Amino acid sequence: MGSPKKNENKGFFAAMTSGFSMFGSAMSRSVNGLQGNEGVEVINPEGGKEDAEEEAQKGRWKDEERDSYWKMMQKYIGSDITSMVTLPVVIFEPMTMLQKMAEIMEYSHLLDQADECEDPYMRLVYASSWAVSVYFAFQRTWKPFNPILGETYEMVNHGGISFISEQVSHHPPMSAAHAENEHFIYDITSKLKTKLLGNSVDVYPVGRTRVTLKKDGVVLDLVPPLTKIHNLIFGRTWVDSPGEMVMTNLTTGDKVVLYFQPCGWFGSGRYEVDGYVYSAAEEPKIMMTGKWNEKMSYQPCDAEGEPLPGTELKEVWHLADVPKNDKFQYTHFAHKINSFDTAPAKLLASDSRIRPDRYALEQGDLSKAGTEKHSLEERQRAEKRTRETKGQKFTPRWFDLTDEITPTPWGDIEVYQYNGKYTEHRDTAESSSSSSNETDLKSIEFNPWQYGNISTE
């Protein structure tokens, strides 16, 4: 069982994709004119016939910076660089990974619809479209800040959702998040794994994602595709996510398999997503097609994957309007995530919004952002040395490490489970809170270290 074969020349679905049959490696050219950088490939997602050297000079780097960082990164080729490399603040966006985890909540109304839906296959249509919807935000080429151990991010005032994420481990870097409203519960443990390939990097989403629909107690498991970041130093940086996304109804055995096409020659196939909702007996029930940067649609199909007579393709999700010429390619929701409008009245001092390097970058002060980033990293190292000297162990406040080990296509992951304490904390804070405004929240001093539980090993 899997996604439809692209070389099958039959039916409506095959006809839709036959024009994009040439996919595989994107157009690439070796850069031979840059002294000391021979053999570096620069990949242009739009194809074209530009001179390779000219194409390589495009991007955010100045010539002297480009050569310097290429020499620095060469020694890491083949390695996982998640926490190995100190990177300049110029490549960062004013958001942490904990905040980026919250971006999947933008179209949370699709999970509300999945919960209310009686048809088990349409539930997967809604839920998988929700999972696809975040990829427009994931195409940004700026790097989010790595969270400090014990750092958190809280979000309220969106779809009735209470969202909390926490950095639960520093080495390896791991984050956990929990979101909930009247329709669903969302839980994720995430451990990014990377592999530097020179001028590109593969990002493997090692993690466990579960969604529980409250009406019937249905539990959905999500396995996303990997992400490839092209032209890190030479050329215009761009992002692709080729491969399969699988969402499984653990309650019934039904599943949806969506194939994210890789960018092909001259940009063919880029953004395209196709697949089917299958019954537990592995019979296709609903065809899904679309683009992760535009919309997703569906149509009932027969056992051969052909559209049922009398049915038509219907849209289930489309991208909301986005700001034009935004400096960091942010959506309106991304700005909302950074805003204090989505913050609770009594914000934790460990929240990413008040992290000084992130906030300085948001205000356009790169020098201060770099200084603050270095200061936080040094303080984190000092805190670690102090704990080790005292024989102390850090444990998260809002998530507990379980005995469960979940296998993924890219390695096993330890699972952190939400312990319910944040809900109790928020209820108490709301019942005792007085009026608060943005200025009050901004005045809180960032301090992630005071929230973790420190115990003697």
Closest CA to 40 of 56, 59, 61: 56
pLDDT tens, position by position, 394-415: 999 999 999 999 999 999 999 9
Fold entry, domain 65-431+444-456: Porin (2.40.160)
Which residues fall within 8 angstroms of residue 206, CB to CB, at 6 or more apart? Answer: 190, 191, 192, 193, 408, 410, 411, 413
Residue range 75-125, pLDDT digits in tens: 788 888 776 667 788 889 999 999 999 999 999 999 999 999 999 999 999
Largest CA distance in the chain: 72
- The pLDDT value given to residue 91: 87
- The two counts, helices (H) then strands (E), for the chain are 12, 22
- State the Cα angle at 446 between 93 and 89, rounded to 5°: 25
Task: Evaluate the omega torsion of the peptide bond into residue 45 and state whether it is cis, within 30 degrees of 0.
Answer: no
- Domain locations in the chain? 65-431+444-456
H/E run at residue 210: strand 201-213
Segments in 11-105 forming alpha helices (H)? 11-17, 52-56, 63-74, 97-102
Residue that wins the pLDDT comparison between 56 and 261: 261
Torsion of CA 381, 383, 387, 390, to 10 degrees: 110
Our CA angle for 261, 263, 267, nearest 5°, is 130
Q: Write down the pLDDT at residue 5.
A: 45
Q: Which residue has the higher pLDDT, 427 or 256?
A: 256
Assess contact for 134 and 106: CB atoms under 8 A. Answer: yes
Q: C-alpha angle with apex 77: 85 to 207, nearest 5 degrees?
A: 70
User: Which residues, including other chains, have CB under 8 Å from residue 392's CB and lie 6 or more apart?
Assistant: 386, 454, 455, 456, 457
Q: Name the band, by pLDDT with cuts 50, 70 and 90, for residue 453.
A: low
Give the chain's mean pLDDT.
87
pTM: 0.89
User: Is there a contact between 397 and 453 (Cβ–Cβ < 8 Å)?
Assistant: yes
